[in-house]
């Protein structure tokens, strides 16, 4: 399922809040053997750190964020034109230019742009916006301020080319929709990694609720645990990352014997309790 010799240039091409790059050494300790995996599913793909690192050969990725999944699709199918357009953005990069492009979703320009133009804008805003955040207001308009970085890596040409090559060679299926729909065909012998927006770590239940357009409520966390249990009954191998809080531990108490606790660093949180070293759970059914 994984390449014997991984391509080290196949790695995330986006900055992503909650990304798993720093946790990969821990996660890799607990992954199923690649020879035991028929198909791999990542229904909350985000920056894609795990699937790009593992370079599985039969992969379905999904995210609710259509701008994100469009970027993956354009990297897969039109990477050379994407690189050229990103170079234009890099040459024009200023605070004023950033806010002009950001305003596309405030002036109805965005819907009239090609998928290529939308993807290049998304990547440019990601690389130059504050902390690589994807955050929208109630009108689904990106509202992240300009990051004021001296030399942002807007065009990482080698990474984009190699990720494109991998997405094509592995025929990675890219979906944009509900995570439950993305895994509905998973069956015995398949492996699903869930990396949802995390449950809040503070008592007010309002901190760090996620990266999707509409957030991820506690009811959504309950629904996800039910999907997890249904897939478990089908013989699907499962792994899930989330906050190490009583609410999550209780949802997955049936898997407590195969749940691991790890420490991760979080810098993006509306509440100070969720910053710094924070406990995370890795729930598995194997």
Asked if residue 16 belongs to a known ligand binding site, the reply is yes
**pLDDT score at 207:** 45
- Asked if the structure places residue 99 within a domain, the reply is yes
Contact between 144 and 133 (Cβ < 8 Å): yes
Asked if residue 104 belongs to a known ligand binding site, the reply is no
Total-model pTM: 0.91
Residues 85 and 215 in one domain: no
- Asked if the structure places residue 7 within a domain, the reply is no
171: left (phi over 0), alpha (psi -120 to 50) or beta: left
- Asked if the structure places residue 47 within a domain, the reply is yes
pLDDT, tens digit, for every residue of 53-92?
A: 999 999 999 999 999 999 999 999 999 999 999 999 999 9
Residues 191 and 254 in one domain: yes
Q: Which tokens is 223 given?
A: 């629904």
- Asked if the structure places residue 19 within a domain, the reply is no
From 93, 124, 159, the end of a domain falls on: 159
Residues 189 and 280 in one domain: yes
CA–CA separation, 109 and 142 (whole Å) = 13
Q: Provide the pLDDT confidence category of residue 3 given band limits of 50, 70 and 90.
A: low
Residues 144 and 212 in one domain: no
- Asked if the structure places residue 167 within a domain, the reply is no
Q: Provide the pLDDT confidence category of residue 125 given band limits of 50, 70 and 90.
A: very high
Residues 213 and 73 in one domain: no
Res 100 pLDDT > 50: yes
Residues 78 and 116 in one domain: yes
Sheet bearing 276-284, strands edge to edge: 173-176, 59-63, 40-42, 191-194, 237-243, 276-284, 259-266
**pLDDT score at 246:** 96
Lowest mean pLDDT among 144-153, 212-221, 231-240: 212-221
Residues 60 and 184 in one domain: yes
Residues 111 and 252 in one domain: no
Asked if residue 63 belongs to a known ligand binding site, the reply is yes
- Asked if the structure places residue 5 within a domain, the reply is no
Q: How many domains does the chain divide into?
A: 2
Residues 197 and 255 in one domain: yes
CATH of the domain at 76: 1.10.1020.10
CATH of the domain at 252: 3.40.50.150
Residues 55 and 184 in one domain: yes
Q: Provide the pLDDT confidence category of residue 108 given band limits of 50, 70 and 90.
A: confident
**pLDDT score at 254:** 98
Residues 59 and 73 in one domain: no
Q: Provide the pLDDT confidence category of residue 278 given band limits of 50, 70 and 90.
A: confident
Residues 191 and 155 in one domain: no
Range of the domain at 148: 69-159
Q: Which residue has the higher pLDDT, 136 or 208?
A: 136
- Asked if the structure places residue 169 within a domain, the reply is no
CA–CA separation, 95 and 92 (whole Å) = 10
Q: Provide the pLDDT confidence category of residue 267 given band limits of 50, 70 and 90.
A: low
- Asked if the structure places residue 199 within a domain, the reply is yes
Q: Which residue has the higher pLDDT, 14 or 202?
A: 14
Q: Mean of the per-residue pLDDT values for the chain?
A: 91
pLDDT, tens digit, for every residue of 7-39?
A: 999 999 999 987 888 889 999 999 999 888 999
pLDDT, tens digit, for every residue of 144-199?
A: 999 999 999 999 999 999 999 999 999 999 999 999 999 999 999 999 999 999 99
């Amino acid at each position: 399922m994984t390449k014997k010799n991984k391509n080290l240039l196949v790695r995330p091409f986006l900055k992503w809040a909650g990304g798993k790059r720093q946790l990969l050494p821990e996660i890799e300790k607990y992954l199923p053997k690649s020879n035991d995996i028929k198909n791999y599913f990542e229904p909350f793909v985000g920056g894609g750190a795990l699937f790009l690192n593992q370079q599985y050969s039969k992969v379905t990725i999904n995210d609710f964020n259509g701008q994100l999944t469009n970027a993956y699709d354009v990297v897969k199918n039109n990477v050379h034109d994407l690189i050229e357009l990103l170079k234009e953005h890099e040459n024009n990069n200023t605070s004023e230019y950033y806010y002009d492009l950001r305003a596309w979703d405030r002036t109805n320009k965005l819907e009239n742009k090609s998928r290529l133009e939308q993807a290049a804008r998304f990547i440019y805003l990601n690389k130059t916006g504050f902390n690589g955040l994807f955050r929208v207001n109630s009108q689904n308009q990106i509202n992240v301020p300009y990051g004021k970085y001296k030399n942002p890596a807007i065009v990482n040409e080698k990474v984009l080319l190699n990720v494109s090559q991998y997405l094509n060679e592995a025929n990675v299926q890219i979906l944009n929709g509900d995570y439950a729909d993305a895994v509905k065909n998973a069956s015995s012998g398949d492996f699903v990694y869930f990396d949802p927006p995390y449950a809040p770590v503070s008592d007010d239940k309002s901190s760090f609720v996620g990266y999707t357009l509409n957030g991820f409520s506690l009811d959504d966390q309950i629904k996800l645990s039910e999907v997890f249990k249904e897939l478990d009954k089908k013989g699907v191998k499962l792994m899930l990352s989330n906050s190490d809080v009583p609410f999550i531990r209780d949802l997955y108490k049936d898997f407590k014997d195969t749940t691991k606790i790890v420490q991760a660093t979080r810098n993006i949180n509306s509440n100070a309790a969720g910053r710094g070293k924070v406990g995370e759970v890795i729930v598995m059914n194997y």
